[in-house]
Structure 1
Amino acid sequence: MSQALGESLPWPPPHTDAFATCLVHLHSGRMSSQTKNIVSGILFGTGLWVAVIMTMRYSLKVLLSYHGWMFAEHGKMSRSTKIWMAMVKVFSGRKPMLYSFQTSLPRLPVPAVKDTVSRYLESVRPLMKEGDFQRMTALAQDFAVNLGPKLQWYLKLKSWWATNYVSDWWEEYIYLRGRGPLMVNSNYYAMEMLYVTPTHIQAARAGNTIHAMLLYHTIQHIKDSRHIVVYHRGRYFKVWLYHDGRLLRPRELEQQMQHILDDPSEPQPGETKLAALTAADSVEETLCSLEFRLLSPQYVMATDIFQLGYAEDGHCRGDTNPNIPKPTRLQWDIPGEVSLLIQRPSSPGWEGSVFPWFPEACQEVIETSLSSANLLANDVDLHSFPFDTFGKGLIKKCRTSPDAFIQLALQLAHYKDMGKFCLTYEASMTRLFREGRTETVRSCTTESCSFVMAMMDPMKTAEQRLKLFKIACEKHQHLYRLAMTGAGIDRHLFCLYVVSKYLAVDSPFLKEVADDGYGVSYIIVGENFIHFHISSKFSSPETGLPQKTRSLVKAVMLESYCQFH
């Protein structure tokens, strides 16, 4: 067969000088001529394949470094952008996985100090009196000329060897070094299938969700865990996720969930309140958890019914049992929704399993932590409400961004409530860069303040308000684009601050800021629905009643739409 192949095809192929070069470097010992040709072909093919892959990856990185398309006028696409999109499609291939091109993404650029300082001064201008602003301008200019360039040099040096000059410091200083309670400070939650009920079988929903989550789960600690911990009726169960190296199927996970749901055993003393340790000091929590000799699950799932609702005083209350296990609490209630209460990676991995015994010392810590948890929870006021009068479908008819529209409505609502403007944080993604996380968009701008004042002035006409509205929206969108393309303010200042601490130098310009205020989050669902969350602390003298703000946000949304539709 090999002879016939050799006769039917010319071997080695002509016109391949590189192929002939490989032959020269092969060992000429006992190899036959045909074997040498085959080995040379394999080597050449492998080298060519690697070269093509590296070329495509580098070309894709160059293409993804282009961000001009983000600043193009809405609805208009230039010829260069069309060519860019076609080339990206060619080099990215079909159906890539989530992190397939992480190494092809460009690195997050380090903005110039003068640019960051200039944007910072612009962001605080509407919030400061003239004297305070002049003082801050002097501090900023001194920083940009003297200390700033020195700190910038070290930051540039780091950006050359680190895949992202922000991400590792952000995780270390914002999350891992925090010793305070994880409750309230670091947690967030999510609701899935809120308005759709795929099945009423609780165990089936649990099994399917666990299987789907593990497809995206990435291990970020040294020891790979092969199980999760399930919380049910005050008890913790260890559930294995793999069999002979294979991830269990949703049906197999459903069977394990059903066994847990049918288990009639009672919890051990102190077991039902174990999750209250997340409200303790992180050091105390870690020392206590070590007493349990646990096995580091990937996450913790709770199957109990857990209902949230408004009490008679109008404030959001929930069942205090279970408290919040870490790192993740999943809960399936009877109607069929899946909710997640997730603890950010801000402490050592929780070690959880089936607990055969609880030392008295740990039970005492748990009781103390439960008291702390109650104090923290009782200080938080949360209002979650739907807004279904209109959604992004009608907002787009105003020829503006739905996000910019809502941000301006929030600025107007806050001014009507408090009678002043405040520094506003809106999170933006930096996923256009390798290992990108978030950046801050400072939504309170001179343009948005001018719009708010026009809305409060009865002498202003609708045309004047509309003009200021469009200017403010365009400014907000521009700031969002700058943040997404690596030209934000806060992450750069944060890293400069970290460098200054390493060098043991201080600057009045890089001071820490602590603000009291509202937390307002929202999600735009479909074309006709927006869901809002408004949170504040009872202990803060700066915030009003969230139920009042809730009504105000609704009223302002309607007012803004009626004015500009």
Structure 2
Amino acid sequence: MAEAHSAVAFTFSITSEGLDVNVNRDVFNLIFQSGVIAWKKRLGRLKNTFRIGIYPVTPLGLVTIIVTVAALKFAGWVPPLINFEPFFHFWLGIFHPKVSQVLESLLYGMFICTMMTIILRSTLKLLFYYQQWIYEVRSIITWKTKMWLVFINAFKFIGHKPLLTSFQGLLPKLSVPTVEDTMRRYLCSVKPLLSKEDYKRMEGLALEFQNGIAKKLQFNLVLKSWWATNYVSDWWEEFVYLRGRSPIMVNSNFYGVDAVLLNHSDIQVARAANLIYGMLLYRRKLDRQELNPILLNKIIPLCSAQYERQFNTTRIPGIEKDTLVHYKDSDHIAVYHKGRFFKVYIRYGGRLLQPCEIEVMLQKIVDDHTPPCKGELQLAALTAGDRVPWAKARTEFFSKGKNKIALDAIEKAAFFVTLDDESHSYDMNNPSKLNEFSRSMLHGKGYDRWFDKSFTLIVCANGMVGFNAEHSWADAPISGHLWEYGLSEDVLNLRSDAPISSHLWEYAIHVSTREGYTEDGHTRGTVTDPPPNPIKLEWDISEACHEVIKTSLGVAKALLNDVDLYILSHTAYGKGFMKSCKLSPDAYIQIALQLAYFRDAGKFSLTYESCMTRLFREGRTETVRSCTLESTEFVQAMNDKNKTKKECIKLMTKAAQVHQQLYREAMTGCGIDRHLFCLYILSKYFHLDSPFLNEVLNEPWRLSTSQTPYQQTDKLDLNKNPEYISAGGGFGPVADDGYGVSYIIAGEEVVFFHISSKKSCPLTNSERFSKNIAQSLKDIKDLFSED
């Protein structure tokens, strides 16, 4: 109760000498500092809103233009573009004529400046609508694109350094493709997967849909696209994520792992403190809009809307659908250690706590051997099981008393931290270690991560780290941006205690010479004032609630025990060789995956590759259907002894070009699946049955793939120092009889593949599939090497 006692601002008692008042000045000072911080944030947001609203004009440029135009108007050198005299005569008649003339000139200057700002912003917005350039990146550039480049680059000299969301109001809206185009693309995508009879049947269903209810559905979808900021994103978030009633652990949440080639501090609380501090610095930059917007080809901005809910966000379970709740700010994090939950403050005395202070607080948690409350150990299993039981339990058992206070502390935390009691590492000679590491990040024990938080930072007992992220609030690149920033902060503070390897992928580890840890592995810095003590959360778990926890844990255990996860560290070659073949590395890998899947399953399958649509406002993802006629022709040629290597190379090149074309179409709003998804949602709203949509939306994605992006920050040059790159991350299998494959092209020499499937399926085996991937990559390299 020491924390509660010190939180009282004043006390009083009645004595024989009268009223004795004891004022705690420190608490009043803390209250005052909190108010100052809150007002600073409000003023900062107001200032940033103004800067964003006038971009690309700078505040200084704004003032300069107003004063210049006003001076010219006052001198009579600027002809009036609009007659303000009646307005000024009525409102400014009370002033002296000279004062009235000055005010009139200033208002005139403001009018001209407003018009110029509107014209500049409208011009920039029109330039962003032009997307033909993306089809000319590796081909002949047309004169239109050359002119566009001239104008778009001119704005770099006009505008000030953009804030994170400076471009949001300038990005184009996602337009709705025509039904005819989507039908044509869809039929082309399924042609290599269907027999002639099945294809003809599907062609008939598509034509029936196109000439029937599609017209009504398309009309309403176009209306929505005019009214809404993005015609896909809100429905995608609701129906794909929030309305799902099955567990989000494994099925929805994804994970990321450490930069495994570096030697970090093996002191758990020190590593955790540095990572927590790095993420809090990132949050501060995010709040202040100081993060650089991601620019495609260093020219075109990507939408930054998803960043808003990265921190202070929790998914709240519901009976029919869940809700995402985002809090403006949070001054604490929630920490889990050996079955206990703690509230840990991250600000004290009006400032952010330093890593050495955070380490002290975390060490107190580790040294605290108080046993968990009854039912507390496995409490987080509620977030890992089915959503409806969790929603009911939350209403019944966590809506009042101790449980509500403790749950609020978790849900309102900036993020969740788990101090694991297990160690994990990377060993090139023992791949199973990385497999176990990744499994721990994906699901842990089923009760030691709070899967509803926007993300959980997981710190292993030996200092290795990873994260588990909830998916509904944003896509993987947003979490990847934070992860890259946090690891970069940590890399810049590593201690030097190992030799630099002669080759990046030798077992010797390359360690930075920067010193942010002490020689014995602790965080640097000296604690002068003791930081606030961690607050152990108290629970009152009834028998009925405990039964729900046990049921949820049973569901979670069954799910995680069925996960077959294997990590392939492909070190034979990386993107350097792929580029030397004059092929896109992504297309190269996708075609290799088609070859591997065919060898593994003996057939082709509908393939999902995630592609971002953040060229548009509030864009999220679109699907690239990677299994094409061209890729299947190449795969069949590779398994045909009568085909020459030159023929195979020609087919591979053609397949890669087609894949790149499909990727560009998906990026520019001409994909298939999001359009069909929205038409399907509308058909349900109108109670219109469509055999075509029912069949399309129920097709299984037996091969679901995604590439993990990197180099989203400029803190480190990951192309020159690929050993700093995280080993990527992954997700659970999408289909019961399929594979989930996530890959990161980590520099010139290595590609990490995270392969998941279900043990219960006799047709799949993640390790076997990894061997097929490795062999396919080798066979393709042999083609081009000999050529």
TM-score, normalization: structure 1? Answer: 0.90
Cross-structure match for 1:468: 651
- Aligned residue runs from structure 1 range 499-518, under 5 A: 499-511=682-694, 512-515=697-700, 516-518=737-739
SS at match of 1:385: strand
Q: CA deviation at 1:476?
A: 0.4
Alignment of 1:115 with 2:300, yes or no, is no
SS at match of 1:271: coil
User: Which of 729, 751, 768 pairs up with 1:548?
Assistant: 768
Cross-structure match for 1:497: 680
CA contact (8 A) 1:211 1:248 kept: no
Cross-structure match for 2:325: 221
User: Which of 149, 157, 176 pairs up with 2:242?
Assistant: 176
Aligned equivalents of 1:152 and 1:475: distance in 2? 28
Superposed CA offset, 1:356-384 (max 9, x none):
33233222211111111110001110001
Alignment of 1:209 with 2:278, yes or no, is yes
Cross-structure match for 1:83: 147
User: Which of 436, 449, 465 pairs up with 1:324?
Assistant: 449
CA contact (8 A) 1:207 1:254 kept: no
Cross-structure match for 1:519: 740
Aligned equivalents of 2:126 and 2:214: distance in 1? 30
CA contact (8 A) 1:426 1:442 kept: yes
Q: CA deviation at 1:520?
A: 1.1
Equivalent residue letter for 1:16: V
CA contact (8 A) 2:258 2:466 kept: yes
How many residues were matched structurally? Answer: 553
- Aligned residue runs from structure 1 range 92-241, under 5 A: 93-197=159-263, 201-214=270-283, 215-216=285-286, 218-219=308-309, 221=325, 223-226=327-330, 227-241=332-346
Aligned equivalents of 2:433 and 2:325: distance in 1? 44
* Change beyond 3 A, Cα 1:196–1:95: farther
SS at match of 1:390: coil
Equivalent residue letter for 2:751: I
* Change beyond 3 A, Cα 1:88–1:58: same
Cross-structure match for 2:510: none
CA contact (8 A) 1:329 1:342 kept: yes
User: Which of 371, 380, 383 pairs up with 2:554?
Assistant: 371
* Change beyond 3 A, Cα 1:302–1:23: farther
* Change beyond 3 A, Cα 1:413–1:483: same
Aligned equivalents of 1:10 and 1:98: distance in 2? 36
Aligned equivalents of 2:448 and 2:353: distance in 1? 28
Alignment of 1:303 with 2:415, yes or no, is no
Cross-structure match for 1:277: 382
Equivalent residue letter for 2:278: T
- Aligned residue runs from structure 1 range 60-71, under 5 A: 60-71=124-135
Superposed CA offset, 1:26-61 (max 9, x none):
214432234323433443343333333322222111
Aligned equivalents of 1:248 and 1:45: distance in 2? 47
Q: CA deviation at 1:280?
A: 2.4
Aligned equivalents of 2:246 and 2:692: distance in 1? 26
Could you tell me which runs of 5 or more consecutive residues in structure 1 were left unpaired when the two chains were aligned.
1-8
Aligned equivalents of 2:128 and 2:371: distance in 1? 56
Cross-structure match for 1:16: 78
Tell me which moved more, 435-444 or 282-291. Answer: 282-291
CA contact (8 A) 2:272 2:463 kept: no
Q: Which ranges of 4 or more aligned residues in structure 1 deviate by more than 6 Å?
A: 309-315
Equivalent residue letter for 2:764: G
* Change beyond 3 A, Cα 1:223–1:399: closer
RMSD, aligned CA = 2.8
* Change beyond 3 A, Cα 1:269–1:48: farther
Tell me which moved more, 298-307 or 154-163. Answer: 298-307
Tell me which moved more, 553-562 or 262-271. Answer: 262-271
Cross-structure match for 2:525: none
Equivalent residue letter for 2:250: V
SS at match of 2:365: helix
SS at match of 1:272: coil
CA contact (8 A) 1:393 1:527 kept: yes
CA contact (8 A) 2:624 2:666 kept: yes
Tell me which moved more, 75-84 or 544-553. Answer: 75-84
TM-score, normalization: structure 2? Answer: 0.66
Cross-structure match for 1:5: none
* Change beyond 3 A, Cα 1:486–1:390: same
Equivalent residue letter for 1:518: Y
* Change beyond 3 A, Cα 1:313–1:385: closer
* Change beyond 3 A, Cα 1:422–1:13: same
